[in-house]
A and B are shown apart, each in its own frame.
Chain A
Amino acid sequence: MNWETLKARLLPRRGERTGSFVLPSVVLDMQPGFVAGARLDRSSRQVRRVAVRQLEAGALEPLPSRPNLAKQEVVRRAVREVLEAVGNSSGRLGILLPDPSVRVAILRFETLPDNRDEAEALVRWKMGGILPFPAEEARVSYQRLSKGDQSVELLAMALRNSVVAEYEAAFETVSAGPALVLPATAALLPLLPAGSQGSQVLVHVCSGSVTTVVTVGDGISFWRNRLLEAHTAEDDAEVVREIARVVATCRDHLKSEIEDLWIYVRPPATRSLDKEIAEAAGRHVRLLTNSASHAATLPPAEKKILEGFGMTFAGLLENQN
């Protein structure tokens, strides 16, 4: 190891590079209407504690290029209460962010450089076209979905540094930065059944936004996030219309018929949204509930919280193996 390599390892890098997936023992899910947190037992893949605190309207406004924490003190208090409830962590936490704060894209390249810096620069450049802020200010991460003879397909995510810094600042008791940062929907993907050859659609309705992901086999062919215009009963109709559009897009452009349609609504829906979606999409809709295998030791009240707010934590545990 020469001096330059040693210096590069020891000194902080200018363009900070993201890492790969790790599962911290405490994860927070910060959404516009609530903050949920869980303590995870990585060895037994169990959720040990889970808690949720409501956030008042307007305290957290998920936007990709502007400050998200409109009422910082309110969010900090909720984070503090959740951490106290699940057990305060002295180590690095994981945070799941609202989907609208993160830009996600499926990118296709003819080839991708083997050099990681060059590949990241290429992905950053390509993501620049869909970012509402300068690409240099983005924190970029990507994973390879498939590699054919003619092309390479990537799932890429970008997040503005100033936005993630705001969320990091909300952990006033934790000195180190987060170990895991993902949009919440990404944490739900591992809950989709593996081995399915057809298309599956995951619909994640969460606090004023809906994210729709279409997966084919082990890959993703479509990812869309849409902010809902109003938080009223009209939301449901807007969600149903959005899903109908996605199903049509899937059929017309992706040339793929949907086999399964999974839905997860947070906070839990009071109306039977799944039936309305099933009617509009012409497909059977299944609720995303796979918490039993990860909540064996939880008391009933926390099990209910996990099902209503914390399936993302179950997804992270599922992703670990």
Chain B
Amino acid sequence: MKVVLNLAIPPSARERYALYWAIPATLLGVTGLAFLLLFTVRSFREYKAVQKSVAEQQGRENTLRAQEMALRKQLEEPEYRRLLDDVQFVNALIEKKRVSLTGLAADITDLMPDEVRLTGLALAPEGQELAVRFVITGKSEEAIERFLSDLEDSPHFRDVAIVNQGFEQTGAASELENIACTAHYMPGESEASGE
């Protein structure tokens, strides 16, 4: 009689193939581990280099800041303060010298309507600023009003003030209006404001 039964438990697929898969799985694991190790070492080196570079930059920045502080401190000393004031004064003078009457006249005439004309112009320094005084003559009150309005809106002029106003009889029916104004002139202001 043939016996086909067996009370032993056959090994599961996992038990059967675990040994066969152990070597390739181990090799794969070791390879992966080595790759991770190399990658980590390389990343660590890069990190160290960047850290060193940042430290150098910070050191340089600290040096520059210390130099700046030293210079500022030097500037606070009386002889350097006087020198600074002199420099500022000289710069102001240079700035004033750069103001041209032609430019001023051009700035004013740009604002003038056809019925208004410039009859007088004077420029004088007033502290750190330039005070301009001019006289205009207009054929109509509306034209003068428009000129004054444009003058106040202009970036080259501020603190516009009318100092005198008068009328001039030119013929039988026509009458001219004269206006004397003062304002502070800021040459090159339109360029600075990005216009």
Nearest to A219 among chain B residues (CB) is B1
Beyond A143-B3, A190-B1, A190-B2, is A18–B14 a contact (Cβ under 8 Å)? no
A194-B11 in contact given A20-B6, A22-B6, A141-B6 (Cβ < 8 Å): no
Q: Chain B residues with Cβ under 8 A from A179's Cβ?
A: 8, 10
Q: Is the interface of B mostly helix, strand, loop or mixed?
A: loop
Closest to A161 in B: B9
| Closest chain A CB from B121 CB (angstroms) | 96
Residue contact B3 to A319, C-beta cutoff 8 Å = yes
Q: Mark A183-218, 1 if CB is under 8 A from B, else 0.
A: 000110110101000000000000000000001001
Bound complex: CA A278 to CA B125 (Å): 153
The count of chain B contact residues (Cβ–Cβ below 8 Å) is 15
A19 to B15, CA, bound (A): 15
What are the interface flags for B1-41 relative to A under an 8 Å C-beta threshold, 1 for contact and 0 otherwise? 11111111111111100000000000000000000000000
Closest-CB distance, B20 to chain A (whole angstroms):
14
Is A237 part of the binding interface, using a Cβ–Cβ cutoff of 8 Å? Answer: no
Residues of chain B with a CB closer than 8 A to A181's CB: 6-8
Looking at the complex, which one of B1, B5, B12, B15 makes contact with A20 (CB distance below 8 Å)?
B5
Q: List CB contacts (< 8 Å) of A137-167 with chain B.
A: 139, 141-143, 155, 157, 159, 164
What distance in Å separates the Cβ of A12 from its nearest Cβ neighbour in chain B? Answer: 6
The distance from the CB of B99 to the nearest CB of chain A, in whole angstroms, is 88
List the 5 shortest-distance A-B pairs measured between CB atoms, nearest first. A19-B10, A181-B7, A141-B5, A181-B8, A143-B5
User: Residue B8 contacts which of A18, A143, A187, A189 (CB distance < 8 angstroms)?
Assistant: A18
Supposing A10-B13, A13-B12 touch, asked if A139 and B7 sit within 8 A by C-beta, the answer is: yes
Q: Is the interface of A mostly helix, strand, loop or mixed?
A: mixed
When distances are taken between beta carbons in the complex, the residues of chain B under 8 Å from A20 are 4-6
Q: Indicate if the CB atoms of A18 and B1 lie closer than 8 Å.
A: no
Question: C-beta contact mask, A102-123 vs B, less than 8 Å → 1, else 0?
Answer: 1000000000000000000000
In the complex, which residues of chain A have a beta carbon less than 8 angstroms from the beta carbon of B12?
A: 9-13
- How far, in angstroms, from A102 to B5 measured CA to CA in the complex? 13
Q: Is the beta-carbon distance between A21 and B5 smaller than 8 angstroms? A: yes
**A157→B5 contact, CB < 8 A:** yes
- A177 at interface (Cβ–Cβ under 8 A)? yes
CB pair A18 B9 closer than 8 Å: yes
> Which residue on chain A has the smallest CB distance to residue B17?
A10
A173–B186 Cα gap in the complex (Å)? 105
B7 x A159 contact (CB < 8 A): yes
In angstroms, Cα B3 to Cα A141, docked, is: 11
B14-A21 in contact (CB<8A): no
